Amino acid sequence: MRESFSLEPIGIVRSCYPDKFGTPRQPGLVPEALAKIHLYPKAQPEESLVGLGGFSHIWVLFWFHQNKGERFHAKVHPPRLGGEPLGVFATRSPHRPNPIGLSLLEIVSVESDGIVVKGIDVISGTPVLDIKPYLSEVESIPTATAGWTSELDPAEIEVEWTEESLAALNRWATQGRHESLKNLIESTLKLDPRPNVYKGFEGQESRYRNHHAVRFYDGDVHFHFVSPKKIQILQVIHPFRGLISVVR
């Protein structure tokens, strides 16, 4: 039996999320989140993608490449459980014995050098290990149970824009021709990207605890939590040169 394996990426993800902070923790939570999976020439995309256009979704296996030097822990602390420990194999934590991720993504288009997808939950630069078509007739199980995740009560979070931030967003969206940019930002922030240590300080005068920024494409969105269920967007900063396309 082999004790180790060597894996070589077949491509790379170009995502609307440049950083880990703010990136959804599961695929499909933000339908407006676009990415392109660029396949390397060695993967022969002009040949290897033939026939994929007839499918609506794909499984993407990837490598959590920003996990640096972390030793294996059998128990992890999922953010959605408020820090309570669970066995790593009962979670989707990126901190695993082998940092391999799996995402089910909707296909927007199949192109000559890769695949445009939406509902992405990984950052730009993520190495792709494999792609497989989703087979609904064998992989959809209506009677499946969802364990501890089915017991969670998702919070309904309101997003409020200041007049200045909305004006900046409109300039950014117009130059980038990205009609769903506002929905992308709101849907992402409603997932509450904050680590647990930053929660519980809403409304207090503490920039360290309350002020946050998430990067989308080539811009930054600054916000704070007015209350546990209300976000106010304070500032939208972008270089006024349009969005960096993820679909080229």
Q: Mind listing the pLDDT tens digit for each residue in 129-153?
A: 999 999 999 999 899 998 888 887 7
| Residues 70, 73: Cα–Cα separation, whole Å | 9
Q: Are residues 112 and 50 in the same domain?
A: yes
Number of domains in the chain: 2
| CA distance to 32, 38, 51, 131, per residue, from 188 (Å) | 9, 24, 32, 25
| Residues 50, 56: Cα–Cα separation, whole Å | 14
| Residues 200, 205: Cα–Cα separation, whole Å | 12
Q: Are residues 20 and 126 in the same domain?
A: yes
pTM above 0.85, yes or no: yes
31 phi-psi bin (left φ>0, alpha ψ -120 to 50, beta other): alpha
Asked if pLDDT for residue 211 goes beyond 90, the answer is no
pLDDT of residue 221: 95
State the average pLDDT over residues 173-184: 73
Return the top range by mean pLDDT from 144-158, 185-199, 205-219, 221-235.
Answer: 221-235
| Residues 163, 232: Cα–Cα separation, whole Å | 11
Domain's final residue, options 139, 166, 183: 139
Q: Which residues pair with 21 in a beta bridge?
A: none
| Residues 78, 59: Cα–Cα separation, whole Å | 23
| Residues 161, 231: Cα–Cα separation, whole Å | 9
Listed residue (24, 15, 38, 190) closest to 121, CA to CA: 24
- Going 114 to 116 to 118 to 124, the CA torsion angle's sign is positive
Could you tell me if residue 229 is inside a domain?
Answer: yes
Which residue reads 């992405």 in tokens?
120
Contact 20, 2 (CB under 8 A): no
Tokens of 228: 């546990």
Which residue reads 């209300």 in tokens?
230
Could you tell me if residue 5 is inside a domain?
Answer: no
Q: Are residues 21 and 69 in the same domain?
A: yes
Q: Are residues 227 and 172 in the same domain?
A: yes
Could you tell me if residue 86 is inside a domain?
Answer: yes
Could you tell me if residue 146 is inside a domain?
Answer: no
Q: Are residues 129 and 166 in the same domain?
A: no
pLDDT of residue 12: 98
Q: Are residues 198 and 126 in the same domain?
A: no
